[in-house]
Amino acid sequence: MTTDQPETGSMPPADAAGGALPPPAGPWRRALQGLASSRTAVLSGLGLVLIVLATVLAPVYAKHVAQTDPFRSGLSAKIMIDGKRSPVMERSTEGLGLGVTPIGPTWGPKYFLGADTQGRDVAARLLYGGQNSLVIAGAATLLCLVCAAVIGIVAGYAGGRVDTVLSNLIDMIWAFPVYLLAISLSIVMLGKTFEIGPIHISSSSLVVPIIIIGLVYVPYVARPVRGRVIAITNSDFVLAARGLGIRPSRILWRHILPNVATTLIVFAPMLMALNIVTESSLSFLSVGVQAPNASWGTILQDGQALLYSRPVVSMAPGIAIMVTVMLLNLFGDVLRDILDPKSVRGR
């Protein structure tokens, strides 16, 4: 509609605006300003920073607050509660009264969220597990974006036979349900040690889940990237650049890539959220992070046996996953609104 600034209303010197100009606002700077002015983006970003900080400080918490080693079982440990020494593994009061039940949330510095079946501090493990979950999801996101960008850009820019081969490959991977693919890959890769030249990947390394999770979502990103590259390659400004006699390599780097970058950036938080859920699911199914490493998924699984007596053990990682994913999605929504290709053109 005609609500935008009349650009010509006054007659001849319509173009005479010279003089004092506001500082140039580039598309990237405007995107940052947009993020900063969105309350949702600022709050969710802050929340995410807090979560990352908390997991980074896990060793500090374990050493100085909880004073435990969350990777060693503490079946015979005892703690002071209300001036009384009580065992971490209490005698069961339910059923036949046989066996032991881990201590519940003390809401104190030690065993804040209680203990798991091994008598380990759940709160400390939650922070350590979060570290792994975030590292895996983050690295997998990066891996996925890089792979998808390369495949999408090559397919979209080269076109022709290259595009046909790559697109069909993508479609083939896409045809597998994500979890089926991830579980099959895990079963093949776990428990093996990989020697690729100087690189040594041990079976329990986090690299294995990172690769698995990073690869399964590649088609979901590569496809839209390819589409965007094709659209940009056919856009007027790329045609104009060709008409000006700009080298193809420079057209790719200077004209196409920066405009595809927005698509990749928009995908990042969504993908990260998806990866956190995938990592947890795989770990929950014992095909993700392997003991003694913890992740939110493994803690969730640990708590499964205690679902009735000590629900906090499985609820805590569940809530952690939910909150993180929600914050990522909120942040991603704002990011998408700001960087959407349609809004890039100004107005």
Partner 1 sequence: MTERPTFPMADHPTPGAPSPILSIRNLRVAFQGARGAWNEVVHGLSLTVAAGETVALVGESGSGKSVTSLALMRLLDPATSRITGQVTLDGAEVLSLSEAEMVARVRGRIAAMIFQEPMTSLHPIYTVGEQLIEALCCHRPMPRAEARRAAVALMERVRIPDAARRLDDYPHAFSGGMRQRVMIAMALASRPKLLIADEPTTALDVTVQGEILSLLKELQEDYGMAMLFITHDMGVVAEMADRTVVMLRGDVVEEGPTAQVFHAPRAPYTRALLASVPALGSMRGEPVPLRFPAIDPASGAATPGLPLARQPDLGTPLLEVRDLVNRFDVRGGLLRRKVARVHAVENVSFAIHPAETLALVGESGCGKSTTGRSIIRLAGGTSSGSVRLDATELFTLSPGRLRLQRREIQMIPQDPLASLNPRMTIGEALVEPFLEHRMGPAAEARAKAARLMDQVGLSPAMLERFPHEFSGGQRQRLCIARALMLDPRVIIADESVSALDVSVKAQVVNLLLDIQERTGIAFLFISHDIAVVERISHRIAVMYQGEIVEIGPRAAVMETPQHPYTRRLIEAVAVPDPARRHLRRTQPPSELMNPIRPLDFVPPERRYREAGPGHFVRED
Site for partner 1, rule CB under 8 A: 1-19, 21, 24-28, 235-237, 239-247, 250, 254-255, 258-259, 344-347
Secondary structure (H, E, C), 194-226: EEECCEEECCCCCHHHHHHHHHHCHHHHHHHHH
User: Given the complex with partner 1, which of 233 and 298 has the nearer CB atom?
Assistant: 233
Cβ burial of 41 (10 Å; 0-12, 13-18, 19+) is buried
User: Given the complex with partner 1, which of 17 and 196 has the nearer CB atom?
Assistant: 17
Identify the three-state secondary structure at position 255: helix
Contact 208, 189 (CB under 8 A): yes
User: Given the complex with partner 1, which of 113 and 229 has the nearer CB atom?
Assistant: 229
CB of 39 to partner 1, least distance (A): 14
Name beta bridge partners: 78. Answer: 87
> Of 220, 196, 219, 198, which is closest to residue 208 (Cα–Cα)?
196
User: Given the complex with partner 1, which of 32 and 326 has the nearer CB atom?
Assistant: 32
CB of 33 to partner 1, least distance (A): 13
- Calpha distance 176→181 (Å, rounded): 6
CB of 82 to partner 1, least distance (A): 57
User: Given the complex with partner 1, which of 73 and 242 has the nearer CB atom?
Assistant: 242
CB of 23 to partner 1, least distance (A): 8
CB of 251 to partner 1, least distance (A): 10
Q: Would you state the structure tokens that stand for residue 323, as one six-digit string? A: 């909150």
**Alpha-carbon distance values, 161 to 139, 154, 158 (Å):** 32, 11, 8
Q: Would you state the structure tokens that stand for residue 177, as one six-digit string? A: 């349900």
CB of 171 to partner 1, least distance (A): 17
CB of 44 to partner 1, least distance (A): 21
User: Given the complex with partner 1, which of 40 and 286 has the nearer CB atom?
Assistant: 40
Non-local (6+) Cβ contacts of 230 within 8 A are 156, 159
Residue with tokens 């006699």: 245
For 115, phi then psi, to 5°, come to -115, 160
First vs last C-alpha separation in the chain: 12
CB of 267 to partner 1, least distance (A): 18
User: Given the complex with partner 1, which of 226 and 255 has the nearer CB atom?
Assistant: 255
- Calpha distance 241→247 (Å, rounded): 9
* DSSP states along 273-331: HHHHHHHHHHHHTTSSSPTTS--HHHHHHHHHTTTTT-THHHHHHHHHHHHHHHHHHHH
User: Given the complex with partner 1, which of 18 and 197 has the nearer CB atom?
Assistant: 18
